Amino acid sequence: IARSTKHGVHRGMSSVTIPPPACMLRPLEAPFRYLFGPGPSNVPPRILAAGGRPIIGHMHSEMFGIMNDIKKGIQYAFQTSNNMTLAMSGSGHTAMECAVFNIVEPGESVLVAINGIWGERVAEIAERMGAKVHTLFKTPGGHFTNAEIEQALAKHKPVLFFLAHGESSSGLVHPVDGVGDICHKYNCLLLVDSVASLGAAPLLMDQQNIDILYTGSQKALNAPPGTAPISFSERACHKMFNRKTKPVSYLLDMTHLSNYWGNDGKPERKYHHTGPVSGFFALRESLAILAEMGLENSWSHHTEVAEYLWKGLEDLGLKLFIKDKDLRLPSVTTIAIPEGYDWKELLAYIMKHHQIEFTGGLGPSVGMVLRIGLMGYNCNKANAAMALAALEDALKQCRKSKA
Ligand code: PMP
């Protein structure tokens, strides 16, 4: 009970009625897990160490130097010379919302390719901010031809077209060649999601005429979740900096963020929000690792390990969900759920007995697939062999007819 005087509660005297929770008096427990799902993936010691360094102020000159390095690292990873390149303080969804909120004004038309959960999400984000949303639809695993895209662009005349390059809910890597040119023919900007594919499958922002590209920190980049690289072409900047209305979000407003990242040409960077300093340290280290390895090596390494995994899965008698090898996402492999098994039981068994995380489907692919992700640091044949052995064991132990 609080002791009070006529002046109110005594300073320094106990006035709390909620005691310290017992859980807070116990140490943090986070077990080691093999994160072989679609993300986050395991973080290598070098990146953990970078994130564990003493923090500095988010507005210190050294921090601006680190942010400038991150910008260069993203320009390399995206293969872009866009000045408007930065990392969002937040997960991949923050970048999705940033792109849509800044580019689109209420009432404008947006076209979204939906072939899994990511198109669904972007359509909902655009709808919530008052856009007129049109969709192109395929069931999970499907993809769109350039002719289909062109037809929809001609019909709906959107200001923005969304496509997921690495559709992680279905395991599909979507062709992007030519799509940017078609969009520009119809005066539309191309927004591409590479959260699950960056560093694992070839993508060249400038050469492929992508206007807005974003990714996440926690997949092939192997940083902890919580930061999200994004880049805007000149064409995209022209649209977003000549709007009639302010974007619906203050936090994600690119006029502020471009100043925070030193991209607006102004001599002074002003306080906008406190960036995740440790997250930026870790992201810088992950971009450094990618730069040291080289993008092309990273792409071919992911393909080689994925092909080893795919062969092993087929040898176990399993069916890969994406039939065409060229359309399989090397970072996230989808397996058709084998007949006679409960997919939840398989996943629980593998987690319990092998400390390995695989996952089921997501959104429209739930109940259709199992997903195995081997990305960045996790991407090697030893891990693929471990994943295969765990799955083989689970297939022996969990057969339904046994019960
Ligand atoms: N897009 C794709 C393709 C993804 O795989 C994910 C994460 N699974 C996201 C967007 C969303 O990223 P986040 O969970 O970091 O918000």
Using CA atoms, how far apart are residues 230 and 74, in angstroms rounded to an integer?
A: 8
Q: What percent of the chain has pLDDT over 70?
A: 96
Beta carbon of 224 within 6 Å of any ligand 1 atom: no
Residue 6 has pLDDT above 80, yes or no: no
* Residue of 326, 334, 336 lying closest to 303 (CA atoms): 326
Q: What is the pLDDT of residues 342-369, one digit of tens each?
A: 999 999 999 999 999 999 999 999 999 9
For residue 1, what pLDDT is reported? Answer: 43
161 by DSSP, 3-state: which?
A: strand
Q: Is pLDDT at 4 greater than 90 in this prediction?
A: no
* Res. 399 pLDDT band, cuts 50 70 90: confident
Binding residue ranges for substrate: 371
Q: Tell me which residue has its CA closest to atom 1 in ligand 1.
A: 195
Enter the tokens of residue 244: 């009639």
The finding on whether 193 has its CB within 6 A of some atom of ligand 1 is: yes
363 lines ligand 1 (CB under 6 A): no
Contacts of 129 (CB under 8 A, 6+ apart): 100, 101, 104, 106, 248
Residue 13 pLDDT > 70, yes or no?
A: no
Is any ligand 1 atom within 6 A of the Cβ of residue 166? yes
* C-alpha 243: how far from chain center: 27
Residue 8 has pLDDT above 70, yes or no: no
pLDDT band at 5 (very low <50, low <70, confident <90, very high): low
Question: By alpha-carbon position, which residue is closest to atom 11 of ligand 1?
Answer: 92
Distance (angstroms) between ligand 1 centre and the Cα of 196 equals: 7
CA dihedral sign, ordered 344, 346, 352, 356: negative
Residue 185 neighbours by CB distance under 10 Å:
11
pLDDT-above-90 percentage for the chain: 95
Mean pLDDT, the chain, integer: 96
Q: How sure is the predictor about 402, in pLDDT bands with cuts at 50, 70 and 90? A: very low
CB 216 less than 6 A from any atom of ligand 1: yes
119 lines ligand 1 (CB under 6 A): no
Site to substitute for ligand 1 among 41, 89, 93, most atoms within 8 A of C-beta: 93
Asked whether residue 9 carries a pLDDT value surpassing 70, the answer given is no
Mean pLDDT, residues 190-215: 98
Test site for ligand 1: of 118, 173, 359, most ligand atoms within 8 A of the Cβ: 118
Candidates 76, 106, 40; CA nearest to 357 is: 40
Contact status, residue 286 vs residue 217, Cβ threshold 8 Å: yes
Atom of ligand 1 nearest to the CA of 95: 16
Q: Is any ligand 1 atom within 6 A of the Cβ of residue 168? A: yes
Determine if ligand 1 sits within 6 Å of the CB of residue 225. yes
Of residues 401 and 86, the one with the higher pLDDT is 86
pLDDT in tens, 144-154: 999 999 999 99
pLDDT digits (tens, 9 = 90+) for 249-287: 999 999 999 999 999 999 999 999 999 999 999 999 999
230 close to 212: Cβ distance less than 8 angstroms:
yes
Residue 403 has what pLDDT? 47
**Closest to 200 measured CA to CA, from 212, 216, 211:** 216
Strands 189-193 and 160-164: parallel
Q: Are 248 and 129 in contact (CB under 8 A)?
A: yes
- 215 CA to middle of ligand 1, Å? 8
Other Cβ atoms less than 10 A from the Cβ of 1: the count is: 6
